[in-house]
């Protein structure tokens, strides 16, 4: 199969924009993605589109793919919405890559959008739990903070880790997000702030939880046959992996790992012919602080139980050996559910082209993005490569 390339990617700022419709947000992200294509792109050259969203609040739950692309003026192209909870747009990018690699499209648009701040807190809570296992898990009174807190309790019980390690994730990601103009919560926080915040679901406090955000992200994927028309600085999709897992935490073998992440990572490394040590930076799915620790281990950055040491040693800091969530991650950059995965790709694209400004990682070749749905029912990992001397 032929190679797929990211030729452009963009996002809206993530944040609270209750007056913006999902279509207007997606339009902004799309325009930024188009602007980022080095040689430009004629929009007529886009063959198809896949848009991720959970559909928080209901709104255009049916046919939101066509509704968005027709709004963009991408008239008549095949367009659909993909739903995989918080991994929706990681999966939409994967699907665009599939379309391009298979030869069914030369250029495909992938993206995601979510509007979460324009409704009451009660309504939001209804929607935040819809990707948990509904019949049993939700009916013990948990939303996702509760389920991740249960994972954290098992992790803290099993390994030499403390709540301070959870807070260190918040401090690091806020420090990075403060350098990102697109971040929802773009401010720094102290370890003391991140330790003393009120509990949401013990052991997780407010600083261990990401916000609910509005936002959209768009990614343009092109085949190796046409990539040279658009850019001389191609970013190759070196590997993609995706995997599913039981939706309810209680149905899984272990609570201190997300097996779908592990499998998705293994597949992505395998397809890319790379290992974890080759990765220069990563954007991981830190919806709750414990999730970032689990991601380090599931993606092979360290052994199981080794995540606290990575944090203690500053390995994943912006100036560390393996910067993680230079964008601020879900914690600081924000988490508009359906836009998050494509937003990670947009960040990696920016980093690999050296355009990440103050938060630029030093001279990266390989970047990894890791996007998880729910508490791990779905996971998708992309490895992107800055191709030199094509």
Q: What are 244's strand-pairing partners?
A: 378
Q: Does 138 bind other proteins (CB under 8 A)?
A: yes
Q: Does 211 bind other proteins (CB under 8 A)?
A: no
Q: Does 137 bind other proteins (CB under 8 A)?
A: yes
Q: Does 122 bind other proteins (CB under 8 A)?
A: yes
Residues 130, 197, 226, 259: which binds other proteins (CB under 8 A)?
Answer: 130
Q: Does 125 bind other proteins (CB under 8 A)?
A: yes
287 is catalytic: no
Residues 76, 141, 319, 388: which binds other proteins (CB under 8 A)?
Answer: 141
27 or 289: whose CB is closer to other proteins? 289
Catalytic position from the list 86, 189, 209, 302: 86
88 or 326: whose CB is closer to other proteins? 88
Residues 135, 232, 319, 363: which binds other proteins (CB under 8 A)?
Answer: 135
Positive or negative torsion for Cα 293, 211, 243, 146: positive
Distance CA 224, CA 106 (A): 9
Q: Does 181 bind other proteins (CB under 8 A)?
A: no
- Sheet of 107-114: strand order equals 79-82, 48-52, 107-114, 215-223, 4-11, 235-244, 378-386, 366-373, 281-283
Q: Which two tokens stand for residue 295?
A: 């991601």
Number of residues written out for the chain: 390
Q: Does 58 bind other proteins (CB under 8 A)?
A: yes
Residues 157, 192, 303, 313: which binds other proteins (CB under 8 A)?
Answer: 157
Catalytic position from the list 184, 285, 335, 382: 335
| Least distance in angstroms from the C-beta of 268 to other proteins | 23
Q: Does 126 bind other proteins (CB under 8 A)?
A: yes
Q: Does 127 bind other proteins (CB under 8 A)?
A: yes
Report the relative pairing of strands 48-52 and 107-114 from DSSP bridges: parallel
Q: What is the dihedral of CA 162, 168, 169, 172, to 10 degrees?
A: -170
Residues 70, 98, 128, 164: which binds other proteins (CB under 8 A)?
Answer: 128
Classify 82 as helix, strand or coil.
strand
- Per-residue b or e along 176-201, where b marks 16 or more CB atoms closer than 10 Å to that residue's CB: bbbbbebbbbbeebeeebbbebeebb
Positive or negative torsion for Cα 192, 195, 196, 200: positive
Classify 303 as helix, strand or coil.
coil
Residues 27, 34, 100, 149: which binds other proteins (CB under 8 A)?
Answer: 149
Interface residues for other proteins in 237-266 (CB under 8 A)? 246, 248-251, 255
Distance CA 95, CA 93 (A): 5
Residues 200, 294, 346, 383: which binds other proteins (CB under 8 A)?
Answer: 200
86 is catalytic: yes
Residues 60, 70, 123, 300: which binds other proteins (CB under 8 A)?
Answer: 123
Q: What letter does residue 185 receive in the DSSP assignment? A: T
Residue linked to tokens 């994943």? 316
Binding range to other proteins, per CB under 8 A, among 6-14, 118-126, 177-185, 337-345 = 118-126
Distance CA 49, CA 51 (A): 7
Work out the angle between the directed axes of helices 144-158 and 289-298 (0-180°, nearest 10).
60
Interface contacts to other proteins, rule CB under 8 A: 58, 120, 122-123, 125-130, 132-143, 145-146, 149-154, 157, 198-204, 246, 248-251, 255
The set of catalytic residues is 86, 335
């Amino acid at each position: 199969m032929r190679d797929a390339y990211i030729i452009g990617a963009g996002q809206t700022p993530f944040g609270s924009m209750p007056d913006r419709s999902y279509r207007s947000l997606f339009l902004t992200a799309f325009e930024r993605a188009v602007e980022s294509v080095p040689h430009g792109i004629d929009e007529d050259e886009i063959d198809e589109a896949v848009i991720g969203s959970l559909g928080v609040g209901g709104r255009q739950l049916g046919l939101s793919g066509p509704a968005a692309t027709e709004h963009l003026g991408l008239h008549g192209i095949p367009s659909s919405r993909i739903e995989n909870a918080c991994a929706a747009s990681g999966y939409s990018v994967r699907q665009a890559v599939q379309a391009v690699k298979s030869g069914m499209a030369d250029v495909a648009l992938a993206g995601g959008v979510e509007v979460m701040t324009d409704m009451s807190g009660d309504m939001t809570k209804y929607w935040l739990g819809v990707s948990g296992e509904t019949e049993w898990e939700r009916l013990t009174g948990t939303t996702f903070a509760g389920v991740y807190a249960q994972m954290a309790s098992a992790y803290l019980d099993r390994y030499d880790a403390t709540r301070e390690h959870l807070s260190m994730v918040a401090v690091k990601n806020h420090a990075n997000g403060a350098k990102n103009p697109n971040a929802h919560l773009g401010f720094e926080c102290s370890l003391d702030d991140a330790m003393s915040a009120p509990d949401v679901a013990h052991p997780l406090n407010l600083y261990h939880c990401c916000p609910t955000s509005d936002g959209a992200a768009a990614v343009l994927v092109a085949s190796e046959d046409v990539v040279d028309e658009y850019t001389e600085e191609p970013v190759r999709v070196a590997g993609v992996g995706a995997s599913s897992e039981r939706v309810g935490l209680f149905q899984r073998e272990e609570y201190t790992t997300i097996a779908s992440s592990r499998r998705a990572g293994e597949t992505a490394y395998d397809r890319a012919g790379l290992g974890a040590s080759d990765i220069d930076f990563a954007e991981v799915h830190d919806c709750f602080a414990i999730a970032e620790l689990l991601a380090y281990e599931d993606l092979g950055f360290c052994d199981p139980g080794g995540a606290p040491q990575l944090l203690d040693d500053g390995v994943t800091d912006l100036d560390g050996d393996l910067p993680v969530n230079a964008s601020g991650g879900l914690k600081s950059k924000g988490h508009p559910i359906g836009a998050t995965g494509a937003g990670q790709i947009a960040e990696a694209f920016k980093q690999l082209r050296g355009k990440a400004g103050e938060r630029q990682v030093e001279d990266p070749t390989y970047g990894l993005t890791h996007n998880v749905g729910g508490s791990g029912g779905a996971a998708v990992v992309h490895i992107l490569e800055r191709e030199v001397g094509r």
